[in-house]
């Protein structure tokens, strides 16, 4: 299989194009990804039944060998459609695992920024490793890096505070913000005294687990509290990779009310969401178990798709206990319209749903959440609030801060089951990270031109630049210094683009043939320098290509030497 990447503007499309020559190409898998989400591709073309051309802002996905092999295997009949789709989705999971990442990448492309895997080239993926999902957004000095909604805009302080519920509670107390009484548990034998001091009902939970795991709510007796303590210890023991601090346990007074996630971006509340525990509603025919199975067939709960916005409801011991507490068993048939909650906590990871309440949240509660986000220096922060009435001030009588998260699953805010959807959240995250006054100049040089001459032309066009990087004939030259040699194109150019120190990035090729082989390198070009050239058909075609992109505004200025 022969794969070519035309980077940026090119002679086929104004979008980076991956060209793969195969034994055969059929459209089924391509149509699936095109319809799945626009982030995957702009469009595709099949030529002669064997050549695939994909216009995409994420070429690192479409050039992946496993990805393309699945397409070819299906197209030649060596792989069933469903199996080939699974193979491709497995690669997607390594790169883009959730709807928290997709809107951010999509927004970056819409705003004109390029995106790249920060650690890998997209060809050599790190199996089952979160590092694949770190993304550079933008080029040169405008570059920022995200992993889902978390980013370089989040301080170490924010990360350390949010990951430890013990630290979180201490911070909230230190800020004088509303929080329910709580205590750290040193040993199991302390539980009766803690219960006596605080009074029931109580909540007991580990400080370092996520997704609502091993959280026990509504404890009403010492026996129940001690049983929950043992279950937490057992849950922690099942995860030997956990650090010791993650297994620490705290007990907190249960606050009456509903669970809300408030999303703070760059110190401003953007969305408030009511999180509702997983439940089923009877139809007079199906058992609770069957109702759960029916609900899990909802495409929004299909976690094989990166576009899922809900999680499946998993039947386990805790779920059965909740159902039992609500006076039922999994084999009971509910009356038509009867609703039964099957989870204690309103965690999305445990099958909960969401309702938008952005227009209802009280200004005082917004201020409290914004205070937290600003004070721990977090670009994006999900603040969990438990309260009786989100439209009233957050006081000890009305509720409490629960916890916070610098890598919140923003899709639960952006795409609620009930109420207004707010997909623009990706743009807000990107815009908060890349300031309007930051711009890296892009330069394309065609012809026999030395790096010294290129640097002179850049200074003439833009003034003295702080730092200039040039990809020239396989070499990386920065501020006149040779950094590396013998690199391939376009991977060498991508390497230069990731360098945040650069104010200007130049891509040099010798001939028109190189442009038709590699593309013009950028989505938008500030300056194109045309060296001396012969009057050949290729050069004339290149002149026409340049003029077309200059007329459309993709190339801002052209200089001939």
pLDDT for 211 equals: 66
Percent of the chain whose predicted confidence (pLDDT) is above 90: 76
* Helix, strand, or coil (residue 304): coil
Please write the tens of the pLDDT for every residue from 299-356.
Answer: 999 988 888 889 999 999 989 999 999 999 999 999 999 999 999 888 888 899 999 9
At residue 426, does pLDDT exceed 70?
yes
Run of H or E residues at 417: none
Query: Which one has a higher pLDDT value, 427 or 436?
Result: 427
CB atoms within 10 A of CB 247: 18
HEC profile for 470-501?
Answer: EEECCEEEECCEEEECCCCCCHHHHHHHCCCC
Is residue 215 within 8 Å of 251, Cβ to Cβ?
no
Averaged pLDDT, 399-406 = 92
Q: Which two tokens stand for residue 509?
A: 């090729």
Task: Lowest mean pLDDT of 54-63, 171-180, 230-239, 353-362, name the range.
Answer: 230-239
Number of H helices, E strands in the chain: 18, 26
Q: Which two tokens stand for residue 418?
A: 């009930």
Percent of the chain whose predicted confidence (pLDDT) is above 70: 98
State CA 266 to chain mean position distance: 17
Please write the tens of the pLDDT for every residue from 103-133.
Answer: 999 999 999 999 999 987 656 666 667 788 8
Please write the tens of the pLDDT for every residue from 25-64.
Answer: 999 999 999 999 999 999 999 999 999 999 999 999 999 9
Nearest to 441 by CA among 188, 141, 221: 141
Task: Look at the chain and count its residues.
Answer: 561
Averaged pLDDT, 178-206 = 93
Is residue 51 within 8 Å of 266, Cβ to Cβ?
no
Is residue 107 within 8 Å of 139, Cβ to Cβ?
no
Tell me the pairing of strands 441-446 and 504-509: parallel
pLDDT for 122 equals: 58
Compute the C-alpha angle 415/303/263, nearest 5°.
30
pLDDT for 438 equals: 84
Q: What is the mean pLDDT of the chain?
A: 92
pTM over 0.75: yes
pLDDT for 120 equals: 75
Residues 405 and 236: their CA atoms lie apart, in Å, by 20
pLDDT for 128 equals: 61
Run of H or E residues at 551: helix 537-551
């Amino acid at each position: 299989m022969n794969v070519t990447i035309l980077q940026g503007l090119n002679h086929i499309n104004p979008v980076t194009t991956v060209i793969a020559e195969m034994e055969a190409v059929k459209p089924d898998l391509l149509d699936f990804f095109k319809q799945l989400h626009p982030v995957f591709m702009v469009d595709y073309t099949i030529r002669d039944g064997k050549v695939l051309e994909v216009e995409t802002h994420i070429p690192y996905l479409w050039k992946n060998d496993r990805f393309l092999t699945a397409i070819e295997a299906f197209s030649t009949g060596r792989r069933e459609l469903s199996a080939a789709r699974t193979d491709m989705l497995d690669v997607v999971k390594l790169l883009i695992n959730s709807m928290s990442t997709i809107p951010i990448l999509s927004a970056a492309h819409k705003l004109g920024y390029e995106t790249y895997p920060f650690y890998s080239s997209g060809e050599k993926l790190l199996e089952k490793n979160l590092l694949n999902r770190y993304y550079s957004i933008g080029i040169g000095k405008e570059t920022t890096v995200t992993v889902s909604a978390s980013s370089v805009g989040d301080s170490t302080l924010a990360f350390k505070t949010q990951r430890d519920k013990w630290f979180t509670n201490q911070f909230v107390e230190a800020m004088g913000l509303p929080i329910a009484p709580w205590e750290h548990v040193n040993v199991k034998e302390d539980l009766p005294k803690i219960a006596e001091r605080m009074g029931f009902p109580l909540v007991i939970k580990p400080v370092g687990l996520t997704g609502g795991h091993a959280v026990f709510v509504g404890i009403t007796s010492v026996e129940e509290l001690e049983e929950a303590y043992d279950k937490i210890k057992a849950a922690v023991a099942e995860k030997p990779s956990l650090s010791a601090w993650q297994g620490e346990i705290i007990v907190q007074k249960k606050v009456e009310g509903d669970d809300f996630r408030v999303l703070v971006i760059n110190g401003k509340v953007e969305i408030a969401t009511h999180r509702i525990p997983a439940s089923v509603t009877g139809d007079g025919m199906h058992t609770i178990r069957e109702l759960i199975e029916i609900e899990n067939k909802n495409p929004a709960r299909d976690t094989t798709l990166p576009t899922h916005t809900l999680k499946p409801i998993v039947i386990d011991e805790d779920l059965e206990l909740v159902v039992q507490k609500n006076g039922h068993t999994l084999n009971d048939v509910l009356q038509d319209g009867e609703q039964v909650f099957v989870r204690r906590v309103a965690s999305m990871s445990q099958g909960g749903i969401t309702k938008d309440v952005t227009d209802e949240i009280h200004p005082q509660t917004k201020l409290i959440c914004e205070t937290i986000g600003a004070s721990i220096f977090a670009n994006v922060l999900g603040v969990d609030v438990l309260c009786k009435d989100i439209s009233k001030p957050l006081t000890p009588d009305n509720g409490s801060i629960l916890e916070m998260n610098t890598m919140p699953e923003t899709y639960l805010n952006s795409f609620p089951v009930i109420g207004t959807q707010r997909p623009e959240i990706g743009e807000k995250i990107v815009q908060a990270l890349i300031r309007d006054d930051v711009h890296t100049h892009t330069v394309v040089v065609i012809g026999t031109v030395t790096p010294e001459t290129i640097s002179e032309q850049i200074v003439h066009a833009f003034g003295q630049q702080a730092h200039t990087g040039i990809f020239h004939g396989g070499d990386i030259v920065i501020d006149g210094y040779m950094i590396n040699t013998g690199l391939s194109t376009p991977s060498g150019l991508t390497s230069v683009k990731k360098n945040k120190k650069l104010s200007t990035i130049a891509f040099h090729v010798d001939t028109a043939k190189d442009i038709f082989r590699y593309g013009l390198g950028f989505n938008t070009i500030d300056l194109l320098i045309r060296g001396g050239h012969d009057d050949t058909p290729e050069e004339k075609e290149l002149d026409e290509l340049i003029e077309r992109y200059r007329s459309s505004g993709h190339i801002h200025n052209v200089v001939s030497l």
